[in-house]
Structure 1
Amino acid sequence: MPDHFIEDLGGGVYAIDTDFQRPRFDAAYLVVENGRAAFVDTGTNHAVPRLLAALDRLGLTPASVDWVIPTHVHLDHAGGVGLLMQSLPQARMLVHPRGLRHMVDPRVLWAGARAVYGDEEMERSYGRLVPVPAERAVASHDGMVVTLGGTRPLQLLDTPGHARHHHCVWDARTRGWFTGDTFGLSYREFDTPANGPWILPTSTPVQFEPEALRASIGRMMAFEPACMYLTHYSKVGEVPRLAALLLDEIDEMVALAKPLAAAEQRHEKLQDGLRRMYLRRVREHGCTLPDEQVEELLALDVELNAQGLAIWLDRAARAAAAAAASATPAS
């Protein structure tokens, strides 16, 4: 594996490139305090050798790890948890209560992801999911605090919007949030000298809820964070600017999707609208990459965000129909 797969972000926080999809696309984090450690997100099964190598690189042993904390149970964040924990004798998993059963018995989680990605992609990208023993699994609650190394509090916040089984982790030491997907995606290829990082929200299936996402971002910003540790990808600053951009883009995605609720070829129209939106915004940000490269870098997000928006539209339509039916007086 390359020498640069682990990056020291300061304050005892290390980003580990899991090599999922492409370099610098998917990060797991290692937090170290007084010789004790916690992983936040793990990547897939294929990332586990890198995570264990990171411990060795830092002079730690597998027995040094107290916690494995997936931000949510989507497989690019949590797919490697079960396999990793087989090598960590002291570690417990800390997961959102809505995700706990899926980590202990991942059959439903596997089936849901398989429906989105298909058998071939599941095997290639993720590998078979390994269950976490129930006695080593802990459910978080909103505001819960665990202490790493006796001195470092890590606080859990319930952050729905991207997924209902999502929590984020506040590290008061660095004044940073481990955000999973709640605070969006920021690929380093789009950084510009004049404007720094660019960011976009993610509506990956199947639980995108724009109002809940806006509220979660607001709760996180109330802590006045100095930085965000994104799974996709790594540490970003300029947090107030990025938060404002995210909120604006969520509104634009909703405005794009709503008129297409009943459209023919809806998926293709959502994809086209998202491509146009992202290309316009990266140009406004000062990105000079060719259009073809921008589209290639964002192709997976365009596909998944279009799927997620469609599911959100259909869920809203069903809710409206049910409300109308309940309001109709009986004849």
Structure 2
Amino acid sequence: MKSKAWYHKQLKRKPVQITRYTVQGLFLLFLIYVGLQFYQFYLHFETLGKTPFVERPSAVEGFLPISGLVALKVWLTSGDFDVIHPAGLVLIAFFVGVGLILRKSFCSWICPVGTANELIAWVGRKIFKRNFEIPQWLSWLLTPIKYLLMLFFVLMVVQMDVFTAKSFLEEPYNKVSDVKMLLMFVNLGGFALKFIIVIFILSLFFRNFWCRFLCPYGALIGLGSIFRITKIERNEDTCTNCEMCTKVCPQRLKVHKVEKVNSLNCSACMSCVEACPVKDTLNLTVARKRVNKWFVPVTFFVLFFVIITFAKITGHWDSIISYEEWKQLIPEAKNIK
């Protein structure tokens, strides 16, 4: 059992990482609470009112990326803001947009799948004393997969004309897409269960396997990094090549070998910066100007809460689907195609 002194020392040495782990844990608990609340909401209608009514948490729409993408297309092309799953549009627009400046900060701070992946990797290190490395040639073969998946979904949405996209948003299937997602997890089995088990096992051995090679959502958010507005820069003159930066990187980037971390996989988590034993050898820069290591998380959460607050105040957060419509839709959700 580690002492309080050890934890105090870690907090002093790696304040951003300790904060990041804490936020990840709290946000994961919050999303579990959202899931339970949404399940209670669903049960009220599924049991025809025999269980108490619970307000539907709009945050559940963050788990509807396809609906969000279609809504984003409609909004950008016609100016019409989705009223069926508005919170989903707000969230996907924010996460993709903020990726232009703050890279994949969503992935390293609040993504529940990213948090689960890091937790599984930690369990793997406890069991096997380390996480294993994937051969470089295999990594090259696996990396394109998430971009191909992303391209498939993006092209599917882009090829829709505005009329078709609007029609999709108003269809019963889209209206109950959150319920269908819930039912998939409640009745998990078959291929989906086998797939999750395989990813779990791979993640025990290979850190952040899903995030690095398979996640199309992360791939989409990471595209903003192409502009290289924010990056980690390494001072080669003071670098001792201790490789600590590479060892702690959740995305397994070879930080110690590059002058600037331009990889689309970088989530600006600051792990490498805090692990570096030589002051000012690794620094975060924004538009070529050096900034404090707290810049990414502070900016991300300030914008995050400002955008959500603004959406709620302006009526762009809660769905317009009425109680009576839910009463008709939810009991038939399993049959809606």
TM-score normalised by length of structure 2: 0.24
Task: Report which of the two has the higher share of strand.
Answer: 1
TM-score normalised by length of structure 1: 0.24
Choose 1 or 2 for highest CA Rg. 2
Question: Per chain length, whose mean CA-contact separation is higher, i.e. which structure has more relative contact order (CA < 8 Å, sep 6+)?
Answer: 2
